[in-house]
Amino acid sequence: MTPTITAFERSPDRGQGLARDTRVRWALEEVGQPYDVRLVSFSEMKEPAHLALHPFGQIPTYEEGDLALFETGAIVLHIAERHAGLLSEDANARARAISWMFAALNTVEPPILDRETTRLLERDEAWYDQRMPGVEDRIRNRLGQLSARLGDSDWLDGAFSAGDLMMVAVLLRLKASSGMLDEYPNISAYVARGEARPAYKRAFDAQLAVFTAASTGS
């Protein structure tokens, strides 16, 4: 059965691939699972039909027969558990990859999102220039720890996994709006390895096509 995901009708990042549907598209491309996309507008996201799928009124969602899921992490994990390609056959390696998925979303992404929220909502506040260095220091703290663990390895724990997919996706968010990744050459190279994967490229192109069509269409 072909799953259906939701994505922004018009992505606020203008097709940079930072909206979270790209992460799900990437996972589906890695495992070779075709999918359908239903585009939703910002007003539709707050309506009862979408809230029934996603209680917090966001994208992406994932529908497959009777199953409806929300939260990017849960969707990627669901895909990774049901197809080969994103989690090892070895039970311990699978569990460690899931640790990295949670680490990407819960430990590395929060300070990055704090920076984005600050830029979006507080740019015109008197405190902006004073507050931002502390926010960025919290990001650097995480990047330093990640860089130390990654070392010279290609991926975080042996073969590419759903943990790497999520970590690279989180770091791409920072790359798009900051030069901070350049301070950590091994992390920059790690992100570049992720972006070079054919499955990532297909996912990126697919989300960009939606934005381009919306921008040039009627």
Positions touching a second copy (CB under 8 A) are: 51, 55-58, 66-75, 77-78, 92, 95-96, 98-99, 101-103, 105-107, 109-110, 113-114, 117, 121-122, 125-127, 130-131, 134, 142, 145-146, 148-149
Non-local (6+) Cβ contacts of 108 within 8 A are: 142, 143, 146, 167, 170, 171
When the beta carbons of 148 and 192 are compared against a second copy, the nearer one is 148
User: Rounded to 5 degrees, what are φ and ψ at 125?
Assistant: -80, 155
- Whether the CB-CB separation of 26 and 75 falls below 8 Å is answered with no
**Least distance (Å) from a second copy to the CB of residue 178?**
19
Tokens coding 46: 């707050």
When the beta carbons of 124 and 216 are compared against a second copy, the nearer one is 124
**Least distance (Å) from a second copy to the CB of residue 97?**
9
When the beta carbons of 19 and 210 are compared against a second copy, the nearer one is 19
User: In the block, which residue shows the tokens 């570049």?
Assistant: 192
**Least distance (Å) from a second copy to the CB of residue 184?**
14
**Least distance (Å) from a second copy to the CB of residue 205?**
26
List, as one string, the DSSP characters of 101-156: HHHIIIIIHHHHHHHHHHHHHSTTSTTHHHHHHHHHHHHHHHHHHHHHHHTT-SST
**Least distance (Å) from a second copy to the CB of residue 95?**
5
When the beta carbons of 57 and 214 are compared against a second copy, the nearer one is 57
What is the spatial distance between Cα 109 and Cα 178, in angstroms, rounded to a whole number?
14
What is the spatial distance between Cα 34 and Cα 1, in angstroms, rounded to a whole number?
9
When the beta carbons of 7 and 170 are compared against a second copy, the nearer one is 170
